[in-house]
């Protein structure tokens, strides 16, 4: 970034006499304002810095990238429409690309907890891009050779730009990080399903013994959850594809060209390889966060699926001696500061904690959706932060879960060894002796410590061959009767 000393004004005695000041004077509609001399933002951003000293939370990189791309595409569209001078448009495109690429991130300084429309951050982007474009054209920051409102924000309002940038950021993050992570997890689980298919173990319902199931079938269920998560992600993308850009202040499109939004959306789709389109109803798109609430709900469902998978794997691997111990998970770190040799299912635990965060984020997005009043929602920044964090956390945890846990899972002999002792083998005798007799058999086996086979030999007239046929575990893992 260029920081020409000529852009630094002298502060007189107030700023140290003849020494160059560390601030410069910028102006906005409310008057002059001191800003740091090397900052690319201007007066309005500085006012917001002072107004919102709330937290250390900032818009994530994904959002700033999307916002930069929206400004870039908007400048191109306005030039194509003959509304923006070619040289100014080119400078804005160059500056906006730097913002999208992360080269100006240090100039995006505003707290998430700010004006509910995100106007402060839209202004932050306008001022940074305008001042950087001014530098590119040979001018000094603050000179407004490129104007933040008249040029960078041409045909736009915070009220349609911010929700558009949120949708775009979520779409790109979904396609680039979360979808590949879920596919990696699905593939790893499917591979384990094939590997574990020959292994028959005792199934469990209500945390109690049930009829036999293949370990591979359990993992097939996990893989199916990951597959369904990918389908949910597709539904989320459909909801987010419709954007508010073009509605300007209240949805009417005042001060923008009728073709501005469609042209800009087309350019954004080409640049990002995600499909976005102008909404057919700007009034609902700007006055609600319904699409974000829907998208966050899909993310929450994906999180709950991951919880099921991680928690089951954690319990199936419990032990190694006093638990179920039907599988082992990779030993990635010591598990205790006091118990030597203890190893814990820490990767699964990290997934479960991510799930808790995502569920909390969804509650925040839902409440933000309720902050829609008349023509505008006024909780957009916090909704953006939470939904983008959910995508980021789910992507990282799903990828890490696959890489550091699922791929290295191994089966033990415990599951198959326990099948013969399972009381629910009696279910297979029901067609031959009836439910009541089979239930009595199971109860007596439980009371005496005998197996179902042993009790059947004593209490029924079934031959050994018939018992072998009826109590063959593998046949109980597929449909069949008689």
- 192-207 pLDDT per residue, tens: 999 999 999 999 999 9
In this model, does residue 3 exceed pLDDT 70? no
User: For residue 23, what are the β-bridge partners?
Assistant: 36
At residue 65, the 3 state secondary structure works out as helix
Q: Once rounded to an integer, what is the mean pLDDT over residues 332-342?
A: 91
* Residue 20: band (very low, low, confident or very high) from pLDDT cuts 50, 70, 90: low
Distance CA 52, CA 50 (A): 6
Q: Give residue 468's pLDDT.
A: 87
Percentage, residues of the chain above pLDDT 70 = 95
Of 348, 359, 354, residue with least CA distance to 309? 348
9: left (phi > 0), else alpha (psi -120 to 50), else beta?
Answer: beta
Residue with the bigger pLDDT between 153 and 422: it is 153
Peptide bond into 20 cis (omega under 30): no
Q: Give the catalytic positions in this structure.
A: 206, 336
Distance CA 311, CA 338 (A): 25
Structural domains of the chain, with CATH: 38-154 (1.10.275.10), 160-414 (1.20.200.10), 420-477 (1.10.40.30)
Mean pLDDT of the chain: 94
Contact 142, 24 (CB under 8 A): yes
The maximal CA–CA distance of the chain, rounded, in angstroms, is 110
Name the token pair of 108: 């995006």
In this model, does residue 241 exceed pLDDT 60? yes
In this model, does residue 11 exceed pLDDT 60? no
Q: Whole-model pTM?
A: 0.93
In this model, does residue 171 exceed pLDDT 60? yes
Q: Once rounded to an integer, what is the mean pLDDT over residues 324-353?
A: 95
In this model, does residue 15 exceed pLDDT 70? no
Residues in the chain: 482
Q: Once rounded to an integer, what is the mean pLDDT over residues 382-411?
A: 98
For residue 389, the surrounding DSSP H or E stretch is helix 380-404
């Amino acid at each position: 970034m260029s920081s020409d000393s000529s852009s630094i004004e002298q502060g007189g005695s107030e700023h140290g006499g003849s020494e160059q000041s560390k601030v410069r004077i910028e102006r906005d509609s409310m008057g002059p304002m001191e800003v740091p001399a090397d900052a690319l933002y201007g007066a309005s951003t500085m006012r917001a810095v002072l107004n919102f000293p709330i937290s250390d939370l900032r818009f994530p990189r994904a959002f700033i990238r999307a916002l930069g791309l929206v400004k870039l595409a908007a400048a191109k569209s306005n030039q194509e429409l003959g509304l923006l001078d070619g040289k100014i448009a080119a400078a804005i495109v160059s500056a906006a690309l730097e913002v999208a690429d992360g080269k100006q991130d240090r100039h995006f300084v505003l707290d998430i907890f700010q004006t509910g429309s995100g106007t402060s951050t839209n202004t932050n982007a306008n001022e940074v891009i305008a001042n950087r474009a001014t530098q590119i054209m040979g001018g000094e920051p603050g000179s407004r050779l490129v104007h933040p409102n008249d040029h960078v924000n041409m045909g736009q309002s915070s009220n349609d730009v911010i929700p558009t940038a949120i949708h775009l950021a979520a779409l790109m993050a979904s396609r680039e990080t979360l979808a590949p992570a879920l596919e990696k997890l699905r593939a790893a689980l499917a591979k384990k399903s094939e590997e574990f298919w020959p292994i028959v173990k005792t199934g469990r319902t209500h945390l109690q013994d049930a009829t036999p199931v293949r370990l591979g079938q359990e993992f097939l269920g996990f893989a199916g959850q990951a597959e369904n998560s990918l389908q949910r992600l597709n539904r989320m993308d459909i909801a987010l594809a419709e954007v508010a850009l073009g509605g300007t202040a209240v949805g009417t499109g005042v001060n923008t060209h009728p073709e501005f939004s469609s042209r800009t959306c087309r350019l954004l789709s080409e640049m990002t390889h995600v499909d976005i389109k102008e909404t057919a109803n700007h009034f609902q798109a700007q006055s609600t966060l319904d699409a974000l609430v829907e998208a966050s709900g899909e993310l929450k469902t994906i999180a709950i699926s991951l919880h099921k998978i991680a928690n089951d794997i954690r319990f199936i691997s419990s032990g190694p001696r006093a638990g179920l111990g039907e599988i082992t998970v990779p030993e990635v770190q010591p598990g205790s500061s006091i118990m030597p040799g203890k190893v814990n299912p820490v990767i699964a635990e990290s997934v479960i904690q991510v799930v808790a965060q995502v569920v909390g984020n969804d509650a925040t997005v839902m409440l933000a959706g309720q902050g829609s009043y008349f023509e505008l929602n006024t909780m957009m920044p916090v909704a953006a932060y939470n939904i983008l964090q959910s995508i980021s956390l789910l992507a990282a945890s799903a990828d890490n879960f696959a890489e550091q846990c699922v791929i290295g899972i191994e089966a033990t002999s415990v599951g198959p060894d326990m099948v013969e002792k399972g009381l629910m083998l009696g279910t297979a005798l029901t067609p031959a002796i009836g439910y009541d007799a089979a239930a009595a058999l199971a109860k007596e086996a439980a009371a005496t410590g005998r197996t179902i086979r042993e009790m059947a030999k004593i209490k029924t007239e079934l031959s050994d061959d018939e018992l072998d046929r009826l109590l063959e575990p593998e046949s109980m893992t597929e449909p069949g009767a008689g």
